[in-house]
């Protein structure tokens, strides 16, 4: 067997911010994978990810230098069902943090993409590796240039630096997001998702025509996306069946048509 020689790695930088133990790595495969075995209230940020993962079919997520690639481990006590709305609530929390930072006209695309018009500023990947925790993976284009790494992304991404001009660091953005995640967690812990749902429904912006794919169904179908109900179920106005609601776990894919 050909074993590579051991390379001495400098220890990650660790500090405490906003009630989180926060680690900063220079380079990692995926911060979510790295965070998978870490205790709650730990956050991992990397300057570069070599195997960043996206939400849809685990697509590669371009994670070049200058972006915020962050994974936060949240405690999830009690039943799994109680935390099913975490992906929606986390999107709402990150949107609020970026809006407070000065990003106007930010909207959500179901379930938790952060969009400026049709360009994506940030995406979330929420994963449960252990029964009592969840890893909230957050990717925000800050100073990086994803289209240089992948020209197919030209015109599809937005960067924070182009909206809120300099004078801050990636860590400043991370701090705001970690603070917002703590607040969101307290609301979910109390079983108060409905508080979030009202605000969330303003964040989708105008009702849009979408095409959705449901698990176990061969055909996609179109309808008017109408946000979520107080239980976090997706509300869709369909031509054939009128108003319908779908549990987030049923929806494999949602594509905006306008």
Q: Which residues of the chain form beta strands (DSSP E)? A: 13-17, 20-28, 42-49, 68-75, 106-109, 113-116, 119-127, 133-140, 208-214, 221-228, 234-238, 242-246, 251-256
Over the range 14-53, which residues count as b (16 or more CB within 10 Å of their CB) and which as e?
A: eeeebebbbbbbeebebbbbbbbebebbbbbbbbbbeebb
Choices 45-53, 77-85, 161-169, 238-246; region in contact with ligand BTN by CB under 6 A: 45-53
Shortest Cβ distance from residue 145 to ligand BTN (Å)?
A: 16
The answer to whether 226 contacts ligand BTN (rule: CB under 6 A) is: no
Q: What separation, in Å, do the N-terminal and C-terminal C-alpha atoms of the chain show?
A: 55
Partnered with residue 108 across adjacent β-strands are 114
Most distant CA atoms of the chain, gap in Å: 63
The residue sitting closest to ligand BTN, measured at its beta carbon, is 123
Interface residue with ligand BTN among 20, 22, 25, 30 (CB under 6 A) is: 30
Shortest Cβ distance from residue 198 to ligand BTN (Å)?
A: 24
Residue 30 carries which DSSP code? Answer: -
Residue 125 or 210 having the CB closest to ligand BTN: 125
Choices 51-59, 89-97, 206-214, 248-256; region in contact with ligand BTN by CB under 6 A: 51-59
The answer to whether 22 contacts ligand BTN (rule: CB under 6 A) is: no
Residues 6 or more apart in contact with residue 241 via CB below 8 angstroms: none
Report the candidate in 197, 208, 247 with the shortest Cα–Cα distance to residue 92: 197
Shortest Cβ distance from residue 33 to ligand BTN (Å)?
A: 7
Interface residue with ligand BTN among 42, 43, 52, 158 (CB under 6 A) is: 52
Residue 123 or 223 having the CB closest to ligand BTN: 123
- Touching ligand BTN, residues 59-118 (CB under 6 A): 61, 63, 69-71, 113
Choices 79-87, 101-109, 136-144, 230-238; region in contact with ligand BTN by CB under 6 A: 136-144
Tokens for 239? 């031509």
Interface residue with ligand BTN among 25, 90, 103, 124 (CB under 6 A) is: 124
Residues 6 or more apart in contact with residue 10 via CB below 8 angstroms: 26
Shortest Cβ distance from residue 161 to ligand BTN (Å)?
A: 17
The answer to whether 144 contacts ligand BTN (rule: CB under 6 A) is: no
Q: Which residues bind ligand BTN (CB under 6 A)?
A: 30-32, 49, 52-56, 61, 63, 69-71, 113, 123-125, 137-139
């Amino acid at each position: 067997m050909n074993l590579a020689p051991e390379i001495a790695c400098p220890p990650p930088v660790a500090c405490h911010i906003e009630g989180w133990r926060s680690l900063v790595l220079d380079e990692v495969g995926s911060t979510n994978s790295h965070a998978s075995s870490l205790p709650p209230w730990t956050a991992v940020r990397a300057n570069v990810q070599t195997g960043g993962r996206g939400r849809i079919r685990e697509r590669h997520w371009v994670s070049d230098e200058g972006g915020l690639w962050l994974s936060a481990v949240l405690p999830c006590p009690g039943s799994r069902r109680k935390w099913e709305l975490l992906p929606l609530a986390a999107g709402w929390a990150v949107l609020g943090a970026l809006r407070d930072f000065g990003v106007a006209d930010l909207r959500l695309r179901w379930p938790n993409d952060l969009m400026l018009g049709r360009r994506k500023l940030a995406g979330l990947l929420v994963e449960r590796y252990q029964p009592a925790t969840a890893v909230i993976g957050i990717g925000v284009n800050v100073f990086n240039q994803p289209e240089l790494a992948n020209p197919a992304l030209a015109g599809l991404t937005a960067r924070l630096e182009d909206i809120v001009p300099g004078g801050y660091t990636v860590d400043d953005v991370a701090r705001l997001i970690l603070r917002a995640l703590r607040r969101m967690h307290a609301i979910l812990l109390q079983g108060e998702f409905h508080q979030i749902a009202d605000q969330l429904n303003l964040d989708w912006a105008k009702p849009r025509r979408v095409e959705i794919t449901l698990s176990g169904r061969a055909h996609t179908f179109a309808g008017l996306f109408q946000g979520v109900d107080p239980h976090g179920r997706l509300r869709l106005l369909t031509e054939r069946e009128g108003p319908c609601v779908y549990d987030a776990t049923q929806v494999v894919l949602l594509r905006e048509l306008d």
